[in-house]
């Protein structure tokens, strides 16, 4: 008679065998496709949490959410996204990050368009998900008449729009500066020559970085600092009832390109500043130790050579004295 523990072991082995076979069947062989799916899912997770918090705040008229809660949602959304997709694709979840990494050889150039496409797609799908969750709340809020801006404007749930006082030039600089901070510090956090950070803590640090940027530079235009975060959901709103005005508002200033171009320029600026000011001065792990050891050996050799020279001079002087004394004796 088979014991209960033995039966349990057999069942576990059978389930594991079935699971392994299913995993092997569904496992995608193409590495680039796996990375694209990872980037798409990571961006989706970031934006579902981020824009979900905006929807909750706007549609409840701040009764169930504030600017601080939105910052928390975006920061923790980044953390969750990096934990999910970091191992497969590096969890760029931001075209500005991908472009900066590609510029410095960390991402092959042929992968760059694929990463960007996947990230924008993830943003688009997140817009659809948030819309589906809050569809009834949107109707209750605006009566089914979709408005971009104004007291009943809801397009800002999905994409960023500037304050009425903000010019295109100031908005562009806002995005450049905020993204420069983001990407420059990401380069620092992920540079093993600079900081020996446990890999499991990197997502948390980057999440707090996004949270801090939101606390410091969010009032002007919502700190997009990510083209996929803005363009993907904006594309969704253009076909979900808000119309083409999502590209021209406010007041025909065609704001939509600012959260695309600004973060790209900012990412290149931040990564370049880090590389020039800090990165080029760092050594590979272990190299400094080797250089120190070599330096010590060189100093020791110099000391030994100095001692040998001193000893040789002493012997020479003693021989000279002895020769001189012998000469005097003979004389």
**How do residues 84-139 score in pLDDT, each as one tens digit?**
999 999 999 999 999 999 999 999 999 999 999 999 999 999 999 999 999 999 99
* Cα 323 from Cα 329, distance rounded (Å): 10
Residue with the bigger pLDDT between 294 and 34: it is: 34
Question: Do 108 and 29 meet the contact criterion of CB atoms below 8 Å apart?
Answer: no
- Give the span between the Cα atoms of 226 and 237, in whole angstroms: 17
Per 3-state DSSP, the chain is made up of helix, strand and coil in percentages (nearest 5) of 75, 0, 25
Give the model confidence (pLDDT) of 228-285 as tens digits: 999 999 999 999 999 999 999 999 999 999 999 999 999 999 999 999 999 899 887 6
What pLDDT does 198 receive?
78
The half-sphere exposure of 250 on its side-chain side, counting CA atoms within 13 A, is 17
pLDDT band at 16 (very low <50, low <70, confident <90, very high): confident
What percentage of the chain has pLDDT greater than the value 90? 73
Mean residue pLDDT across the chain: 88
The pLDDT of residue 167 is above 90: yes
Are the C-beta atoms of residues 256 and 246 closer than 8 Å to each other? yes
Predicted structure pTM score? 0.82
pLDDT at 178 exceeding the cut of 70? yes
At residue 304 the predicted structure's pLDDT band, cuts being 50, 70 and 90, is low
The mean pLDDT value for 309-331 works out to 52
Query: With contact defined as beta carbons under 8 Å apart, do 55 and 137 qualify?
Result: yes
């Amino acid at each position: 008679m088979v014991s209960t523990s033995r039966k349990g072991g057999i069942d576990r082995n059978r389930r594991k065998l079935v699971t392994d076979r299913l995993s092997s069947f569904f496992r995608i062989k193409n590495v680039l496709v796996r990375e694209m799916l990872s980037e798409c899912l990571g961006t989706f997770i970031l934006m579902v949490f981020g824009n979900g918090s905006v929807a909750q705040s706007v549609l409840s008229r701040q009764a169930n959410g504030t600017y601080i809660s939105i910052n928390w949602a975006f920061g923790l959304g980044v953390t969750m996204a990096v934990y999910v997709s970091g191992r497969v694709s590096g969890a760029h979840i931001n075209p500005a990050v991908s472009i900066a990494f590609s510029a410095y050889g960390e991402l092959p150039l042929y992968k760059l368009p694929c990463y960007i496409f996947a990230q924008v797609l993830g943003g688009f799908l997140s817009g659809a998900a948030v819309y589906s969750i809050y569809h009834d709340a949107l109707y209750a809020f605006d009566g089914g008449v979709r408005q971009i801006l104004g007291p009943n404007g809801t397009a800002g749930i999905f994409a960023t729009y500037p304050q009425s006082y903000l010019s295109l030039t100031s908005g562009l600089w806002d995005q450049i500066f905020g993204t420069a901070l983001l990407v420059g510090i990401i380069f620092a956090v992920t540079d093993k020559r600079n900081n020996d950070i446990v890999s499991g803590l990197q997502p948390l640090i980057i999440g707090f970085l996004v949270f801090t940027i939101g606390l410091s530079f969010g009032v002007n235009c919502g700190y997009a600092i990510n083209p996929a975060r803005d363009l993907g959901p904006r594309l969704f709103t253009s076909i979900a009832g808000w119309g083409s005005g999502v590209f021209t508002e406010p007041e025909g200033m065609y704001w939509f390109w600012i959260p695309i171009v600004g973060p790209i320029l900012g990412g290149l600026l931040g990564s370049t500043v880090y590389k020039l000011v800090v990165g080029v001065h760092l050594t590979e792990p272990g190299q400094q130790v080797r250089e120190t050891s070599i330096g010590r050996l060189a100093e020791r050799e110099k000391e030994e050579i100095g001692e040998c020279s001193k000893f040789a001079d002493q012997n020479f002087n003693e021989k000279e004295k002895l020769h001189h004394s012998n000469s005097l004796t003979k004389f």
